[in-house]
């Protein structure tokens, strides 16, 4: 009798735990980030933020020391390459300023916003990939700093993703490479619009809905289309064309896009305080 | 077990789980092993199964998984479910074998971690996150398993301290 009871108890405990977990899962799916579960999650992240920052300040110097010791040669080479790039970019910028002035005038006439004028919150990337299953990162700004869910996140070079969840001091950003992310894009020259869908970490984006006839070359830049109801404002660079082409009789092009931003090595980003027009 | 001893065990294990959480979320926040983020909370669950009986493995697995879920954008309860099942299974097959050969805990951690990660993705697919199941899953499972195997021996020792080593021989 006693033996029977003792060997049944672990199984009973397991069943109880599994049922509890299933209940939590169902609750989470139903409330989807809001409600009690959302509040507990937000609270936990906010409570943990100081611990994270403290550990970061303790361990970052050690990490940096090892990184620099191991990669000194690489760093020197990269430094030289970046200086050269910077010089080139400066020259290009001077040439582009004229064209930009004209463009702004035209856009202002048509009452469209563009990324340069949107107020932004600068944020540091706390954790570049929180999970092995969702392509999200965590930044150190939250509702306390004016960040809200749905806001686009960019760097100086282009689009990173958008904010999906916020607590008071932390926000979660869904990257454009996540399979559930889709970004409305436009071909700069022809004005063709399509949708760029993520395909996983370190993979290029797939672009749907571009006509087979549209001529595209490797290196062409696609920007956000910013169409009505679009989640992202217009004119933000998304990626460069890697491969294009269409099979005979296909309804759309086979187009892949390499993200403009190096999503693996982000340290600082900007959250654009922008929401779609109602 | 008497209530005072139970509370003491609970306190020690809570400390260990909290330590693992700080490790996972703060110290190792940016660590990547060939692109894969380690999962120290899973290690705690597996080590608890090895150091204690199946029931202890299930409970510690549940708590570790729940904390992991709380700080993750993934569905809440998914890791709690997976880790508690894995902790239970590890606990029920490990009783008595643990001291026979030194590398058994390492091998167990390796296999249990692979199974846990795959199970996690499969359950996620069942509740609507089918994108978790892809080729990358194999790399994720491998990366997590290798790190957990490497840390298995100290983890088991720590959990044995936390759970009270007499558990190893009890049935």
Write out pLDDT tens, residues B16-62: 999 999 889 888 877 787 778 899 999 999 999 998 888 999 999 99
Write out pLDDT tens, residues B51-82: 888 899 999 999 999 999 999 888 999 999 99
Query: What pLDDT sits at residue B96?
Result: 58
Query: What pLDDT sits at residue B98?
Result: 55
Q: CA–CA separation, A169 vs B15, rounded Å?
A: 26
Please state, rounded to an integer, the average pLDDT across all residues of chain A. Answer: 83
Residue from B166, B160, B154, B134 nearest B40 by CA: B154
Q: Among residues 167-196 of chain A, which lie with CB inside 8 Å of chain B?
A: 172, 179-180
Give the pLDDT band (50/70/90) at residue B89.
very high
Positions of chain A with pLDDT lower than 50, given as ranges: 1-4, 111-114
Q: Which residues of chain A neighbour B73 with C-beta distances below 8 Å?
A: 130-131, 134, 136, 164-165, 172
Query: What pLDDT sits at residue A264?
Result: 81
Q: Among residues 77-106 of chain B, which lie with CB inside 8 Å of chain A?
A: 77-78, 80-81, 84-85, 88, 91-92
Query: What pLDDT sits at residue B128?
Result: 85
Query: What pLDDT sits at residue B115?
Result: 96
Residue from B126, B124, B105, B127 nearest B116 by CA: B124
Write out pLDDT tens, residues A216-263: 888 888 889 888 778 898 888 899 899 888 888 888 888 899 998 888
DSSP SS3 for B40: helix
Give the pLDDT band (50/70/90) at residue B168.
very low
Query: What pLDDT sits at residue B171?
Result: 39
B11 interface with A at CB cutoff 8 Å:
no
Query: What pLDDT sits at residue A113?
Result: 46
Query: What pLDDT sits at residue A192?
Result: 85
pTM of the model: 0.81
DSSP string, chain A: -HHHHHHHHHHHHHHHHHHHHHHHHHHHHHHTT-HHHHHHHHHHHHHHHHHHHHHHHHHHHHHHHHHHHHTHHHHHHHHHHHHHHHHHHHHHHHHHHHHHHHHHHHHHHTT---GGGS-EEEEEEEES-S-SSS-EEEES--GGGT--TT-EEE-SSSEEEEEEEE-SS-EEEEETTSTT-EEEEEETTT--EEEEE--STT-PEEEES--TT----TT-EEEE---TT-SS-TT-EEEEEEE----TT-SS--EEEEESS-GGG--EEEEE------
Query: What pLDDT sits at residue A4?
Result: 47
Query: What pLDDT sits at residue A3?
Result: 47
Cβ–Cβ below 8 Å for A27 and B76: yes
Give the pLDDT band (50/70/90) at residue B114.
very high
Q: What is the mean pLDDT of residues B121-148?
A: 91
Q: What is the mean pLDDT of residues B96-106?
A: 74
């Amino acid at each position: 009798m006693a033996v029977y009871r003792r060997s049944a108890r672990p199984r009973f405990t397991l069943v109880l735990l599994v049922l509890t977990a299933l209940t939590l899962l169902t609750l989470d799916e139903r409330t989807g980030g809001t409600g009690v579960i959302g509040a507990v999650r937000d609270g936990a992240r906010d409570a943990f933020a100081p611990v994270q920052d403290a550990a970061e300040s303790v361990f970052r110097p050690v990490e940096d020391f090892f990184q620099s010791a191991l990669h000194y040669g690489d760093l020197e080479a990269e430094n030289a390459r970046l200086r050269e790039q910077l010089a080139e970019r400066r020259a290009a910028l001077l040439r582009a300023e004229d064209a930009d002035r004209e463009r702004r005038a035209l856009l202002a006439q048509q009452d469209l916003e563009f990324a340069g004028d949107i107020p932004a919150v600068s944020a540091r990337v706390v954790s570049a990939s929180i999970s092995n299953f969702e392509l999200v990162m965590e930044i150190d700004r939250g509702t306390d700093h004016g960040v809200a869910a749905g806001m686009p996140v960019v760097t100086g070079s282009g689009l990173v993703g958008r904010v999906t969840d916020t607590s008071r001091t932390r926000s979660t950003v869904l990257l454009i490479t996540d399979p559930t992310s889709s970004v409305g894009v436009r071909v700069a020259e022809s004005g063709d619009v399509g949708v760029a869908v993520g395909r996983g970490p370190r993979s290029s984006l797939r672009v749907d809905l571009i006509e087979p006839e549209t001529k595209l070359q490797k290196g062409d830049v696609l920007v956000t289309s910013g169409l009505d109801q679009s989640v992202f404002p217009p004119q933000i660079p998304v990626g460069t064309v890697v491969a294009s082409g269409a099979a005979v009789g296909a309804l759309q092009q086979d187009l892949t896009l390499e993200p403009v931003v190096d999503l693996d090595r982000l340290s600082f980003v900007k959250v654009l305080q922008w929401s779609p027009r109602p | 077990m008497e209530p005072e001893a139970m509370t003491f065990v609970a306190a020690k294990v809570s400390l260990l789980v909290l330590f693992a959480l700080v490790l996972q979320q703060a110290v190792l926040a940016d660590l990547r092993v060939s692109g894969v983020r380690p999962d120290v909370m899973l290690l705690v669950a597996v080590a608890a199964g090895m150091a204690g009986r199946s029931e202890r493995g299930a409970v510690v697995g549940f708590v570790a998984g729940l904390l992991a879920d709380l700080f993750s954008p993934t569905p809440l309860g998914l890791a709690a479910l997976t880790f508690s099942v894995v902790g239970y299974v590890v606990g029920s097959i490990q009783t008595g074998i643990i001291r026979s050969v030194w590398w058994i805990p390492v091998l167990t951690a390796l296999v249990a971690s692979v199974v846990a990660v795959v199970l996690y993705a499969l359950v996620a697919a069942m509740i609507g996150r089918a994108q978790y199941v892809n080729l990358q899953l194999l790399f994720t499972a491998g990366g997590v398993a290798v790190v957990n195997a490497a840390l298995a021996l100290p983890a088991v020792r720590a959990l044995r301290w936390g759970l009270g080593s007499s558990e190893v021989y009890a049935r």
